[in-house]
Chain A
Amino acid sequence: MTEKHIQLRQDSLQKETTTLNLGPTHPVTHGVFQNILEMDGERVVGATSTVGYIHRAFEKLAERRPFYQITPLTDRMNYCSSPINNIGWHLTIEKLLGLRVPKRVDYMRVIIMELARISDHLICNSVVGVDSGAYSGFLYLMQYRELIYEIYEEICGSRLTTNIGRIGGFERNFNDKVFSKLDKFLAEYPGVLAEFERLFNRNRIFMERTIGAGPISAERALNYSFTGPNLRAAGVDYDVRVSQPYSSYEEFDLKIPVGKTGDCYDRFLVRNQEMWESMSLIRQALQKMEKEPADIFHADAPAYYLAPKQDVYTKMEALIYHFKIIMGEIDAPVGEVYQAVEGANGELGFYLISDGGRTPYRLHFRRPCFIYYQAYPELVHNALLSDAVICLSSLNLIAGELDA
């Protein structure tokens, strides 16, 4: 407490600071999480963050589910980019089973994951705009998320909770509509994103609002074990796609945008730049796909990947495997695996212990949001209330991922 305040008794009604509940159902928290802020006027002097409002015990639920049924659970973690969660889980199982997938599946996965990254960054950045008072950028970008969702819809049949892909590949091949929609997206989105950047990047109002809001040094960020765009904004060029490549990412030409100070403006710029990188990755993947045989969309693993329905009706082997897979009678080896993917928010890890049974013995999701939220009180200390709001949205905290 500074000297200029009148000293009051601790139990006095006119306390020096005001307690303010930011959340759990506040419009700016974009999800259900609570922050109990101690306010001294407009300044935040202390913050206590509470977790658990949307806790659904996914890790415990997963202990009673066959491996393939855990995919819909992962949908509901970071629901802005659920395909990355789905594919991350499939990669984990494939690592446990020692299953090799064809190159074309890898490239298809890269396309889907990068689309998901774009849709996640698009929401995060436009919401930073909304919270700083610029609504129009959000409107213009949101129309293009629709194009991404239509691509998901063609492949898996759903838009938000995608449940995309299966262990060993995809449920169906990309059809011509998918490719034409991808081409449409790749043709139209750069113009829209460039317009969005013209609106925000060099706008003095936006810059003054975000520069210096919620900064974190590289050292503190590492101590909190930040990953993803939030760590890169602090200046560390760590990216799972480069350091531990999965799904053939090592073949791609990928640049890592890094910031300096780790404030909201840096995070915004890093995310924008990553959307450009993702588009270039999709183009590279489409080029690489052309060289692969066009009818391969899953691994040849009849014990783990469902046979086509026609074979199930007519062939004995296929029918047996069909029943075995659906009933979860999968021969998983005993072992421990950790598979990390570069989620839209950071390193999304799946730590799986299998005791050889039909279900995981123990499963832990490393959810980047949960880690960022621990740093939130430090980030907003001594900031203005309005900065605290921007900081919340620019960390891209997503309640589903925070609590699992």
Chain B
Amino acid sequence: MQALTDRAVPVDRRPLNFWEKMYLPGIFRGMAITLKHIFRKKATINYPEEKRAFSPVFRGLQILNRDEEGRERCTACGLCAVACPAEAITMEAAERKPGEEHLYREEKYAAKYEINMLRCIFCGFCEEACPKDAIYLTETFAPSSFEREHFIYGKEDLLIPLPGEETKNPQA
């Protein structure tokens, strides 16, 4: 083969010399390295008891946000559903009635909002698409359940609870 570039560097493939041919040096060198590692600090953590810190931008399960007065921010515009490459988000819009101003921020809100967590690929496009700061990806990850239906998260699982309200745990 002619060379395509002048940057090629052949790898070191010389045959074993006499010293290396005796198995023992290789074995002892390996043993020494392994022994050295016994006295090193553990690289693992005991997961459920200890947890490592995530980066602030970690992409975990979604939540639906409220504004500073506790009203739902989502207006059911559907941009998150359009942006979702896994087609995991569905929603139904409804119109705000007089007297519901303390519940919903805008005149339109999501009557139904579902994310199928089994379809979700946690790409973060919904958060990026949202023009109302309503959907966020949190640091929660690895939900578990015995039933597939439990992974279709509705509004009651996704909305962050109002202060004073009991936290609903979707995994329970």
Contact = CB atoms under 8 A, between A and B. Distances in A.
Interface of A: 65, 68-73, 134, 136, 139-140, 143, 146, 150, 153-158, 161, 163, 171-172, 177, 195, 198-199, 201-205, 207, 218, 235-239, 242-243, 254-260, 265-266, 269-270, 273, 306, 309, 312-313, 319, 322-323, 326-328
Interface stretch (B15-23, B111-119, B143-151, B154-162): B15-23
Contacts of B49: none
A323 B85 contact: no
A139 B37 CA distance: 10
14 contacts: A72-B85, A154-B57, A156-B59, A156-B124, A157-B57, A158-B58, A161-B121, A199-B29, A199-B30, A202-B26, A203-B29, A204-B16, A236-B4, A269-B12
A273 B59 contact: no
Contacts of A326: 79, 82-83, 128-129
Interface residues of B, number: 42
A266 B123 CA distance: 38
B122 interface: yes
B172 interface: no
Given A69-B83, A323-B79, A204 B21 contact: yes
Nearest to A235: B1
Contacts of A199: 29-30, 33
Contacts of A195: 33
B142 interface: no
Contacts of B85: 65, 69-70, 72-73
Nearest to A195: B33
A131 B152 CA distance: 41
Nearest to A140: B37
B31 to A, nearest CB: 10
A205 B23 CA distance: 8
B60 to A, nearest CB: 9
A373 B129 CA distance: 40
A72 B133 contact: no
A154 B55 contact: yes
Nearest to B19: A202
Contacts of B55: 150, 153-154, 157, 177
A242 B7 contact: yes
Given A136-B34, A237-B5, A327 B82 contact: yes
A266 B11 contact: yes
Given A69-B83, A73-B85, A163-B123, A273 B1 contact: no
A237 B8 contact: yes
A143 B37 CA distance: 12
Contact of B5 (A65, A204, A242): A242
A257 B11 contact: yes
A22 B165 CA distance: 56
The secondary-structure label for the interface of chain B is loop
B4 A259 contact: no
Given A69-B85, A156-B57, A237-B4, A204 B13 contact: no
B26 A172 contact: no
Given A153-B55, A157-B58, A157-B59, A258 B10 contact: yes
B59 A312 contact: no
A202 B29 CA distance: 11
Contact of A72 (B3, B11, B121): B121
**In the complex, the 4 A-B pairs of residues with the closest C-beta atoms, listed nearest first:** A237-B8, A269-B11, A157-B57, A157-B59
A112 to B, nearest CB: 15
B39 interface: no
A146 B9 CA distance: 30
A360 to B, nearest CB: 14
B54 interface: yes
A163 B58 CA distance: 12
Contact of A136 (B9, B20, B37): B37
B153 interface: no
Contact of A204 (B11, B23, B79, B133): B23
B82 to A, nearest CB: 6
B89 interface: no
The CB with the most chain A CB atoms within 10 A, among B13, B16, B129, B137, is that of B13
B57 A256 contact: no
B73 to A, nearest CB: 12
A69 B58 CA distance: 19
Contacts of A143: 43
A237 B7 contact: yes
Interface in B23-55: 23, 26, 29-30, 33-34, 37, 43, 54-55
